[in-house]
C-alpha cells in the first residue's frame, strides 16, 4: 500500500476513535490506513511529530514506535 494521496506531506496520522497514531512511512500491516481514511475519523498534527501526537493524547502504534527507536539509535 502506498501513502494516501491526501497525506503526501504528512508522516503521522491519528485515529480519533481509539487515540492511536500511525507512521505513514512505516504503516501497519493490512488495510488499517485505508479503513481509517475511509472512516474520516483521523487527525493530523502540526508539527508533524510523535511528540505532538502524544501531547494531544495519542499513543503510537507498534510500527511507529519501532521506527522512532531505530531513528534515534
Q: Splitting the chain (73 residues) into consecutive groups of 10 residues, what average pLDDT does each group show? A: 82 97 93 95 96 97 92 82
CB 24 within 8 A of CB 37: no
pLDDT for the residue 1: 55
pLDDT for the residue 3: 77
Residue spans per domain, the chain: 5-72
CB 31 within 8 A of CB 60: no
pLDDT for the residue 73: 73
Beta-sheet strand order (sheet of 42-43): 42-43, 12-15, 20-23, 59-60
Query: pTM (2 decimals)?
Result: 0.91
In the three-class reduction of DSSP (H, G, I as helix; E, B as strand; rest coil), residue 8 is classed as: coil
Amino acid at each position: 500500500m502506498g501513502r494516501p494521496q491526501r497525506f503526501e506531506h504528512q508522516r503521522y496520522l491519528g485515529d480519533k476513535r481509539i487515540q492511536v497514531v500511525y507512521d505513514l512511512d512505516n504503516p501497519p500491516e493490512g488495510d488499517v490506513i485505508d479503513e481509517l481514511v475511509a472512516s474520516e475519523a483521523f487527525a493530523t498534527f502540526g508539527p508533524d511529530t510523535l511528540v505532538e501526537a502524544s501531547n494531544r493524547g495519542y499513543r503510537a502504534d507498534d510500527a511507529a514506535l519501532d521506527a522512532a527507536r531505530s531513528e534515534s539509535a
